[in-house]
Structure 1
Amino acid sequence: MSSKSPEERVKQTAAYYVKAWGENPLPATVLATLITAQHMRPFRLLPMLFPPVLLFSSYMNIAGYKVDSAGTTAAWSAIYWLLAGRRKQGIYSKFGTRGLIRGATLGLCAANVVGGGWAWMMGRRKEEDAN
């Protein structure tokens, strides 16, 4: 059971959930996996620069740098979202396996931009809180 009363659980707003998404290391890892699945075969160099940075962002999060990790994930997700959005896709190819993975990747990028950006803007570092 949760130690919070029902009234306290109701007070958790959407901003709380958005910040929790941004401070979670899993979305960056899943995004790196989806990008790798799309661009490994055939290998394309530019999109494959994103997974190592996103995996490093997950590592930073686990190491305790949640605010910095959220900002890194949001920034690199936004850059990938802009680059991938420039590629045109036919109507029939949107509903195949590659199209569904691409749609999931772009949707996850958008969620990371919102969640990571919010966590980065509203987050506080431990050193700043001590002063």
Structure 2
Amino acid sequence: MNTNYTLNTLGFTEKFKQEALKYPAFYPGRVIEQNRNQYTVATQSGEVKAEVSGKYRFEASASLDFPVVGDFVLLDRETDSTGRTQIQRCLLRHSALIRKAAGEAHERQLMAANIDKVLICMSLNEDFNLRRAERYLTLV
């Protein structure tokens, strides 16, 4: 995986920078992978494995409060013995891709955040369905 990136190439705009400056004890990164409650975060110095802190987990009132791919987060400068760090804050999102969660409950599921561009790709074989393409376009 490419680890030669800067925060600017990750989309860290002036707005995010100003918000991050309010918390000098932490350093910023962007969530690039999520596997349940484990995250891979791209930072100025490379990728780190992270999980949300206990305080963050306690203060989160809904699943939409947790980080997802695309979120800019603030990380603790300390790491544990396995090299993992903790996500202390999630910076405000400027956009989000949300769908209805699976099942009977009327919950929303956050799929990705801070999206600027979307590429929709579909096969043009006999399985092509114009209604499906319309649903995808409506989603974004």
Return the TM-score normalized by structure 1. Answer: 0.25
TM-score (normalised: structure 2): 0.24
Higher fraction of strand = 2
Higher relative contact order (CA 8 A, sep 6+): 1
Query: Which structure's residues are more often helix, by fraction?
Result: 1
